[in-house]
Amino acid sequence: MSDDGGSREPLRLNDGHHLPAIGLGTFGLTGEAGIAAIVSALGLGYRLLDTAVGYGNEWEVGEAVRRSEVPGEDVVVATKIRARDHGYDATRRSIAESRRTLGVDRIGLHLIHWPNPRLDRYVETWQALVAARDEGEVRSIGVSNFTAAHLETLVGETGVVPAVNQVELHPHLPQAAQRAVHERLGIRTQSWSPLGRGRVLLERPEVTRPAERLSASPAQVVLRWHHQLGADPVPKSADPGRQRENLAPVGRLTEAEMDAITGLGRRGGRLWGGDPETTHL
């Protein structure tokens, strides 16, 4: 890592483009309340919005960008290809539909949401994303929930390394082996459900003790842990106060504090059993 994990400067991807080191998760942010929450986040400084066809809120995300005072070109919107659109032609159609729904000429970051190995079409899906990138419909391309084996297949068959792999990553699932694979291949790790959905995790003493020492909140400590691991979190909050809190940089965690938080990792640490080999989404 080039800094101590405290910087929120955009990070350089393997395709030469930059990506904000933290984004707003938007799952569940729908309707007028969802738009208001996303406009709030943009006003507070978020410049990466994480959506997906499967979240049913691409229109709200696009509308929030239009309503906010932040120029659209300063915002990276990330969206994702769902299972039913795997395959070359269906993916090209899905990209066109997402551009229409979001109201943008070019999508900032487009990911394959899940590998769906049972469908066995993620290589074709990837080839469609590569073509869309080469034709200027999409800026950066990546994947989500891909294991080391899925990445190896993609790179072996196409020679194109994803810029990003967005995986479930939080203290109960620190993903050390997966992060090492990303580092070796030059893939940026993004963390989904980075706060472990915010409940029990934020009350653990391994988190609350450093929070007290740093005069920070438990969520800020967990987000700092992600940054110090070299992973970019996309925490979701509908609340302006918590959105601001999640964006604010805090002091450095010691090695012992990092190890104690990572030590919360456990077998079966997935929040809802989202296994990349079997999840059909």
Q: Which two tokens stand for residue 79?
A: 């969206």
The sheet that has 188-192: what strands, in order across it? 24-25, 48-50, 76-81, 107-112, 138-144, 164-168, 188-192, 231-233
Chosen residue from 34, 115, 162, 235 binding ligand NAP by CB under 6 A: 235
x/- letters, 4..43, toward ligand NAP (CB under 6 A): ---------------------xxx----------------
As a whole number of Å, the end-to-end CA separation of the chain is: 33
CB atoms within 10 A of CB 231: 24
* Annotation marks residue 46 as catalytic: no
Comparing every residue's Cβ against ligand NAP, the nearest one is 25
Q: At what angle do helices 218-229 and 240-247 cross, to 10 degrees?
A: 40
> Quick check: 258 binds ligand NAP (CB under 6 A)?
no
Q: Is the dihedral of CA 165, 50, 160, 90 positive or negative?
A: positive
- Binding ligand NAP (rule: CB under 6 A), the pick from 19, 42, 219, 260 is 219
To the nearest whole angstrom, how small is the minimum distance from the Cβ of residue 69 to ligand NAP? 23
Of these, 122, 207, 246, 250, which contacts ligand NAP (CB under 6 A)? Answer: 246
Shortest CB 259 distance to ligand NAP, Å: 21
Task: Please report, as residue ranges, which positions from 161 to 180 form the binding site for ligand NAP (by CB under 6 A).
Answer: 166
Residues that bind ligand NAP (CB under 6 A): 25-27, 50, 113, 144-145, 166, 192-198, 202, 217, 219, 234-239, 242, 245-246
